[in-house]
A and B are shown apart, each in its own frame.
Chain A
């Protein structure tokens, strides 16, 4: 008995010793990265898979990918980690956090890290619309990773039932109202369209504003345009969908339950993130289609989602390793895999040229809608004091939709408060 015990102990000691030797023999660069998950599905498993592949190909880099919750959580966690002395080296965070991160002195521009001509070319290899949120002061601070746009999902069976052509979804605001009226059934049994106004109302509003010809802010992060006449009109239209035309419920529409409402047939059309695509595809019991958002003056949608950022508190080796990781995660092959499994957009034209994504798009055309819409896409609302400014707009939108204030009054007030906040940055 004792002999067996001694043998086991010896064997364990040997194993630990060899293991320890192995670990110390390779001086690994360790990277910690936070990432958010913003769409449903086993995304953490997918990220872990990608990261594991990277580590196989790069045995000298150890990556610790930590799921941090939603975009807000990820930013809070990453910044908190920086302050607490256990920093992460890179993270995926909201594309619109850029000004906050710069103000906190947290991130370093990619232009300051890339050295070779290849790398510089790499910075330009992504879809331009996706780079808008990541660029300011003439430099690139964020590289796209999990990006999306808003798309219009519609219930083809409902269209047929209402006598509409299921291959011709509304392409203009007027058509949206007309078709919406035909699709709406009395008594709230089915609505024509639902545009969510909790969660990220400013994001949805960015689409409406652009469709009416305006953007919500400038490229320097210090000026918003909430009270421009065309912007007020856009909010009025949003309100009218419910209050005047009766094709949408009045009041606020809950973001979290919207997909369920669509799948239950409570609404024939929904505006939602392309990140829902895979979930809708697996759960829809009806024939559905995906289309670009309708135009008024022009088509428009904001981009959304998260970018890769590298933190300032990093050593040169860590930065090199982080660059390798980012290049891997945003490579055409990785992007294709990510897009197929989640519904996020492939982030570069090259991604759509990979065999995997080509085949997927050919077999499932809705997957290309978001990509095609990039031509009409603009940056998501992002400024200094971004949390406060977003909340001002969110509150104004909700006040207008619930009838508490007129769109003009709500937006004028939001604009004046925003001016107060941003004056110091001009």
Chain B
């Protein structure tokens, strides 16, 4: 028998390869980003120097930063509840014995296997004014066309619709799994007691879906920050930053403006937001989950 000392050593040995990579690309960069945010960006003619909280001050004074934060908030509020609700509805439908349900399930899930770049290419056409598909259909009904991506009032909404299209099917799968794990006796019992479908859903199904909802919610929140691929194709953050998102702003600060210090500062904000949201979700939802 291996003695327990050796087990400690073996344990760490087995963990080491993964640990090196995780530390190298997750933990170390987080610390490095924090440090970088206190220095200025170096160039060939002006080397980097310690500037304390100056970068943060610049960020607070930057109207684009606040616009971008606001956009992220609206984007999250727009996509998360809707796509989750839609995912639940889709899962409920696919779970029942509807005719052609395999095809329907495929249709709902297909957007998930497409890369965001491809999705954006296709939807760029949909949103093109006058000759795009949406405006063409609107014309059939006699409705006027609209510059969906060029109007600051509609651009975020247009992107939200596209994102819901992409994400709902992905979440549906998890709900489907959860639904299929529910014991059928519950439904029988409810039928016997004469409970209506909506009551059944509200009192039984939905609470039992809470654990999976937590998982889906975490995914959805993470995606709402991570998903900026489409901006490269659709709007590049325009018009006038109406569709700009934090991670995209970080990208252009670092790779278009070559201001790595500012990018580090923005990244710190992103990290703090993610941390706060993760903790909040665990704490709040943990209380409401019924574990079986």
Asked if B147 and A104 sit within 8 Å, CB to CB, the answer is: no
Q: A239–B241 Cα gap in the complex (Å)?
A: 19
Q: With an 8 A cutoff between CB atoms, is B3 at the interface?
A: no
Q: With an 8 A cutoff between CB atoms, is A114 at the interface?
A: no
Contact residues on B (Cβ < 8 Å of other chain), bracket: 20 to 34
Within 8 A of A (CB), among B200-244: 235-236, 238-241
Q: Which of A38-46, A139-147, A259-267, A368-376 sits within the interface?
A: A259-267
The interface bits of chain B over 132-151 (1 if a CB of A lies within 8 angstroms of the residue's CB, else 0) are 00000000000011010111
Total cross-chain contacts (CB, 8 A): 83
Q: With an 8 A cutoff between CB atoms, is B157 at the interface?
A: no
The interface bits of chain A over 318-355 (1 if a CB of B lies within 8 angstroms of the residue's CB, else 0) are 00000000000000000000000000000000000000
Q: Residue on B with the closest CB to A76? A: B255
Q: Of A106, A188, A251, A395, which is within 8 A of B151 by CB?
A: A251
B74 to chain A, nearest CB (A): 17
Asked if A249 and B147 sit within 8 Å, CB to CB, the answer is: yes
Q: With an 8 A cutoff between CB atoms, is A406 at the interface?
A: no
Asked if B240 and A104 sit within 8 Å, CB to CB, the answer is: no
Q: A103–B255 Cα gap in the complex (Å)?
A: 15
Residues of the A chain whose Cβ atoms lie less than 8 Å from the Cβ of B44: 103-106
Asked if A395 and B43 sit within 8 Å, CB to CB, the answer is: no
Residues of the B chain whose Cβ atoms lie less than 8 Å from the Cβ of A79: 258
Asked if A249 and B129 sit within 8 Å, CB to CB, the answer is: yes
Asked if B255 and A252 sit within 8 Å, CB to CB, the answer is: no
A402 to chain B, nearest CB (A): 5
- Contact residues of B: prevailing secondary structure: loop
Residues of the B chain whose Cβ atoms lie less than 8 Å from the Cβ of A72: 256
Q: With an 8 A cutoff between CB atoms, is A47 at the interface?
A: no
Q: A188–B128 Cα gap in the complex (Å)?
A: 13
Q: A219–B281 Cα gap in the complex (Å)?
A: 55
Q: Residue on B with the closest CB to A413? A: B63
Asked if B147 and A198 sit within 8 Å, CB to CB, the answer is: no
B138 to chain A, nearest CB (A): 11
Q: With an 8 A cutoff between CB atoms, is B103 at the interface?
A: no
Q: With an 8 A cutoff between CB atoms, is B45 at the interface?
A: yes
Asked if B252 and A387 sit within 8 Å, CB to CB, the answer is: yes
A156 to chain B, nearest CB (A): 21
Q: A256–B259 Cα gap in the complex (Å)?
A: 28
Asked if A387 and B147 sit within 8 Å, CB to CB, the answer is: no
A367 to chain B, nearest CB (A): 28
Q: With an 8 A cutoff between CB atoms, is A257 at the interface?
A: yes
Q: With an 8 A cutoff between CB atoms, is B93 at the interface?
A: no
Within 8 A of A (CB), among B244-264: 252, 255-259
Q: Of A250, A254, A402, which is within 8 A of B152 by CB?
A: A402
Within 8 A of B (CB), among A97-153: 100, 103-106
Asked if A402 and B151 sit within 8 Å, CB to CB, the answer is: yes
B79 to chain A, nearest CB (A): 23
